[in-house]
A and B are shown apart, each in its own frame.
Chain A
Amino acid sequence: MFESWANAFHNVFAANILLFLGKGLLNTLYISFFSIVFSLVFGTILGLMRNTKGYVLRWTATLYIEIVRNIPLLLFIIAMRFMTKLPALASGIAAITVFTSAIVAEIVRGGLNSVGKGQWEAATSQGFSRVQTMWHVIIPQAMRRIRSPLVSQFVTTIKDTSFCAVVGTYELSFTSKIVAAHRTIVTAEDILLLYLLVAMIYYVINRIFAGIARRQRGSAMKGVVR
């Protein structure tokens, strides 16, 4: 029992395997980072569009959001990989951005709607224009509500990058799949240890963000005027 685990440690924590997994981790972080940044930009735009009074803008955004978030992300990843000439990492980022923007848009819209109507009326009565009201009154209050679910969404996005394994992008999950087939990884202990190691890498990264999200949830409810 003990010996087989010691062997497993020896087999999994080998320099070449760790180096290979490390490269996968870097790619996972790379895809995650750019997907999150782009999704924030496009998601915010979509969320604001869905809240405007303009008919065309609002329905374009609504249609996009409702269609995209009811289709599995994996479909976008596969389609982006096989139907475009983008390199592997870029196609992953593009697909995850297409999908996550719709989710972010919903979070942004929820935050904006959580600010009471009275805030609009009060600001207008004080001579604020629409844009001024949005910028100085609504957004600062909405931000408090938006932050926590947004950070939770980062966790989901980091986990979602593992879907790229299906199209053979060298991120952490796919590299772990390759390592699992390596000639030195044989016993149940070897494979279990390998996957637990990979799971722990994801876990540590995600736990940090989940912790931040939880802390912000506490402050979210304070000071929002209805």
Chain B
Amino acid sequence: MYNWKTWFSDWTFFADGFLRTLYISMLGLAFTLVIGIVVGILLCGKNRVVLAVCRGYMSFFQNTPLVIQIFIYYNVLPKLGIYLDIVTIGVMGLALYTGAYAADIVHSAIKAVPTGQMEAASSQGFGYVQAMWHIILPQAVKIGLPPMTNQAVNLIKNSSVLAVIAGGELMYRADTWSGDNLIYGPTFVMTGVLYLVICLPISLLARWMEKRSVRHV
């Protein structure tokens, strides 16, 4: 009981970490979407060089651990004279990593829209970009939204990896505070609850959207 009291007496320390996790995740998610949409659309093109670059990017970032990617940004960039603060490294790392998955989702969502839609749009005088923006993407959003929402949950959970570079977010604070105070149980339970508070609603939303989209097909 004493341990719980100690934990709650330091609650602002964790609240700060919680907000930082939220902040990094939101920014990371925004950039993830940008990367995912751009790369996803590029993948629909026919230029071989562009395709090779996109596939190379996705392949590398999907098949190597985020921890190693973060190590590279954290340890190599300063030696090249590029000094980024932890939040920037975190946002960049999460966005590049999750973006590789988001690109896959966007690409297959666009592909799932029947080709007749593109043909119909062109026959009506829409250019490629116009057709993409007004006809294809709105339909693709419906298909891609549930898996993208799952990726958002993954991104939030993966933001905990910033603990390896003293990211100052929730997991880092839980790790250090519990070690300093030798109070493990309450710290880890409450940290779990805090992550659940963010992630559970989002993944339930994804589940609900999946069910709804199945019904409509």
The answer to whether A and B assemble together is yes
Q: Which of B11-19, B46-54, B123-131, B160-168 interfaces with chain A?
A: B160-168
- Please determine whether A79 and B188 come into contact, CB atoms closer than 8 angstroms: yes
CB pair B67–A173 under 8 Å, yes or no, is yes
Give A84 Cβ to nearest chain B Cβ, in Å: 10
Q: Which residues of B contact A199 (CB under 8 A)?
A: 60, 64, 68-69, 72
Known contacts A71-B196, A78-B175, A195-B75; A210 and B62 CB within 8 A of each other: yes
Q: Write the A158-194 contact mask toward B (1 if CB under 8 angstroms, else 0).
A: 0111110110000001001100100000011001100
Quick one: closest A residue to B163, CB to CB?
A166
Interface size on B, residues (CB 8 A): 40
Q: Interface readout for A110-146 with B: 1 if CB under 8 Å, 0 if not?
A: 0000000000000000000000000000000000000
Answer whether A74 and B200 are a contact pair too, CB < 8 Å, given A195-B68, A195-B72, A203-B63: no
A71 touches B157 (CB 8 A): yes
By a CB distance below 8 angstroms, the chain A residues around B185 are 83
Q: Which B52-105 residues have a C-beta within 8 angstroms of A?
A: 59-60, 62-69, 71-72, 75-76, 79-80
User: Which residues on the B side are within 8 Å of A218 (C-beta)?
Assistant: none
Q: Give A161 to B67 CA distance when docked, in angstroms.
A: 10
Interface centre among A67, A166, A176, by most chain B C-beta atoms within 10 angstroms, is A166
CA distance A159 to B80 in the complex (A): 27
Q: How far is the CA of A210 from the CA of B185 in the complex (A)?
A: 37
Q: Mark A63-79, 1 if CB is under 8 A from B, else 0.
A: 00011011111110011
Q: Say yes or no: is B184 at the interface (Cβ < 8 Å to chain A).
A: yes
The answer to whether B188 and A198 have CB atoms under 8 Å apart is: no
A173: which B residues are within 8 A, CB to CB? 65, 67-68, 71
* Nearest A-chain residue to B68, judged by Cβ: A199
- List A contacts of B75 (CB < 8 A): 180, 191, 195
B192 at the interface (CB under 8 A from A): yes
Interface size on A, residues (CB 8 A): 38
Please state if A202 and B65 are interface contacts (CB–CB under 8 Å): yes
**How far apart are B3's CB and chain A's nearest CB, in angstroms?**
12
In this assembly, does A155 line the interface, its C-beta being within 8 Å of a C-beta of chain B?
Answer: yes
Bound-state CA distance A75–B17 (Å) is: 14
The answer to whether residues A188 and B80 also contact, given A74-B163, A75-B160 and a CB cut-off of 8 A, is: yes
Whether the pair B160, A74 counts as a contact (CB closer than 8 A) is yes
Q: Give the distance in Å from the alpha carbon of A67 to the alpha carbon of B62 in the complex.
A: 25
Option from B60, B68, B178, B200 in Cβ contact (under 8 Å) with A66: B200
> Which residues on B sit within 8 Å (CB–CB) of A210?
62-63
Report how far A210 CA is from B55 CA in the complex, Å.
13
Contacts A70-B153, A192-B76 given; indicate if A75 touches B63 (C-beta within 8 A): no
Pairwise interchain contact B157-A159, C-beta atoms closer than 8 A: no
Complex alpha-carbon distance, A83 and B195, angstroms: 19
- Interchain CB contact under 8 A, A207 and B67: no
User: Is B137 in the interface zone, CB < 8 Å from A?
Assistant: no
Contacts of B64 in A (CB 8 A): 159, 199, 202-203, 206
* B199 close to A (CB within 8 Å): yes
B33 at the interface (CB under 8 A from A): no
A-B residue pairs in contact (CB < 8 Å), sample of 21: A69-B203, A71-B157, A71-B196, A72-B159, A72-B195, A74-B161, A74-B171, A75-B191, A75-B192, A78-B171, A79-B188, A159-B64, A161-B65, A166-B161, A166-B164, A173-B67, A180-B75, A192-B72, A195-B71, A195-B72, A207-B59
B interface vs A, CB < 8 Å?
Answer: 59-60, 62-69, 71-72, 75-76, 79-80, 153, 157-161, 163-164, 171, 174-175, 178-179, 184-185, 188, 191-192, 195-196, 199-200, 203-204
